[in-house]
Amino acid sequence: LRRGARNWRSMSTGELTPQSRLKEFSELARALNLYRMDHLGNYTGHKSYYLTGQLATLEQAIIQYALQAVTEHGFKLISVPDILPKEVIESCGMRTEGERTQVYKLDTGECLSGTSEMALAGFFANKLLSEDQLPLKVTAVSRCYRAETSGLQEEKGIYRVHQFNKVEMFAICTEEQSEAELEEFKNIEVDLFRRLGLNFRLLDMPPCELGAPAYQKYDIEAWMPGRQMWGEISSCSNCTDYQARRLGIRYRRSADGQILHAHTINGTATAIPRLLIALLESYQKEDGIEIPAVLRPFMDNQELITRNKRIPETKLVKFIKA
């Protein structure tokens, strides 16, 4: 890929299902009675959803699959809080004030975390590390909260929601290590999605599409055949010393004892809702959803997701006869 240009490489693993028989995620999940998003406004709010039966199990299988992969690459698992001081979130590069913000603010002045990257970065705030500890790589599973959603047709359903689960990778390293670490993050993500059998493409994002913290960023988009569109399912960024300077993350250089600000790298191993969309639409069959081979060990070696008969279907009833 060429640096600074929106180039892409498609990584296809096979032929797509004939277009005439393709269904979109919501239609597939409803037909199998594994998902509910309708008529939830009265008690859970707009853009809420339930995953049930094998679809809920598939979510957990994806999380375990991603954790197994990243820990094999030396990432240490940390369980993180969802409520953070706004100073930590702002130090990571996300605004908490203004008319338009992605952040949920609480009455206490604290905020709901938009991604565990923030909690992981905050864990190392004001820490002085030794150079031989770097690169220091950690991972977390967390709930992510986003205040803004979308009314666009292509982003309907669970594509863009207020809360979702995600497996995040985060690293602290030296200036000399940061470019190589970003490449490792990118390669881990590519391997994760290749083994899932998805049709996806890798993009090296141009400077005009980078947020304030990022020096370089890769996006990965998966083909969602039911929607007939590419949808972002992952990204990774080299934030150099942007976050470390604001959070006071430093290290002592071994050669001369000089104290320097570290560099930070972040990347999404799996963001569940969009990955579920890509998987269900890509693996749809007439009698259900085929489970990718790498996920079967986490689902009692089941090969197919079929209609859920245990949980009753819910329907909106306007009038109930006595």
pLDDT, tens digit, 9 for 90 and up, residues 123-171: 999 999 999 999 999 999 999 998 876 666 667 789 989 899 999 999 9
Q: What is the pLDDT of residue 21?
A: 76
Q: What is the pLDDT of residue 19?
A: 56
CATH of 77-282, one of 3.30.750.200, 3.40.640.10, 3.40.50.720, 3.30.930.10: 3.30.930.10
Omega of the bond leading into 135 within 30 degrees of 0 (cis): yes
Q: What is the pLDDT of residue 321?
A: 60
Rounded Cα gap, residues 266 and 181, in angstroms: 10
Q: Return the percentage of the chain with pLDDT > 90, whole number.
A: 71
Residue type, 139: T
Distances (CA, A) of 109 to 79, 100, 104, 246: 23, 17, 10, 19
Helix, strand and coil percent figures for the chain, each rounded to 5: 30, 25, 45
| E strand or H helix that includes residue 145 | strand 136-145
Q: What is the pLDDT of residue 102?
A: 81
Q: What is the pLDDT of residue 90?
A: 93
Distances (CA, A) of 29 to 6, 26, 137, 280: 33, 5, 36, 8
- Within its chain, how far is the Cα of 27 from the centroid? 23
pLDDT, tens digit, 9 for 90 and up, residues 7-37: 344 444 444 445 557 899 999 999 999 998 8
Residue ranges of the chain with per-residue pLDDT less than 70: 1-20, 41, 45, 149-154, 310-322
HEC-encoded secondary structure of 165-231: EEEEEEEEECCCCHHHHHHHHHHHHHHHHHHCCCCEEEEECCHHHCCCCCCEEEEEEEEECCCCEEE
Q: What is the pLDDT of residue 48?
A: 85
Contacts from 106-110 at CB under 8 Å and sequence distance 24+?
109/85, 110/83, 110/84, 110/85, 110/86
Burial status of residue 255 (CB atoms within 10 A of its CB: 0-12, 13-18, 19 or more): exposed
